[in-house]
Amino acid sequence: MNENMEDQEDDGKDWQVEFLQAIGESFYYNLDDLVTEEDLYYADPDDWLEPVLLVMGNKVTPTDLALITESQILAISKEFGEGFECPPVSIEKIKQAVADTLARWSPGDLGEDTSRLDQKK
């Protein structure tokens, strides 16, 4: 189990907040050079998470990120471009942000079903 979950409550809300925060942080660190300094200053932390949630849904899990498709990556890239009024984000930067998130939260860390991973192989 992920060390982030050791002290979490059983209601599942805490893990969700922690995981979503990790996604936002990973995207911030990988994409912050793509927006103006003013936009960066005024951007809310949720701004870095919103494009991912718009494409993947509000209940996104580490397993969902591990199974991300090229079309979802392209859609996230487009959403970032529209949200920050910049060109679409490079596929490589999106993939790196996903990889950074998965380095912190592995599939199954949230207790989600990981059987879909076996189907991908």
Give the tens place of pLDDT for each residue, 92-109. 999 999 999 999 999 999
Where residue 6 falls among pLDDT bands split at 50, 70, 90? very low
pTM of the model: 0.83
- Above 60 in pLDDT, residue 9? no
Domain assignment present for residue 28? The answer is yes
Domain assignment present for residue 2? The answer is no
Tell me the residue range of the domain where 73 lies: 11-120
CB 104 within 8 A of CB 22: yes
**Coil vs helix vs strand at 18:** helix
**Coil vs helix vs strand at 21:** helix
Domain assignment present for residue 5? The answer is no
Task: Note the pLDDT of residue 16.
Answer: 85
Domain assignment present for residue 15? The answer is yes
Closest C-alpha among 96, 31, 106 to residue 66: 106
Give the tens place of pLDDT for each residue, 20-61. 999 999 998 888 777 666 666 666 767 889 999 999 999 999
Q: What is the DSSP code string of 38-49? A: HHHHH--HHHHH
Joined together, the tokens standing for residue 113 give: 């079903």
Domain assignment present for residue 4? The answer is no
Domain assignment present for residue 40? The answer is yes
Q: Which residue has the higher pLDDT, 87 or 20?
A: 20
Residues counted in the chain = 121
How many independent structural domains does the chain possess?
Answer: 1
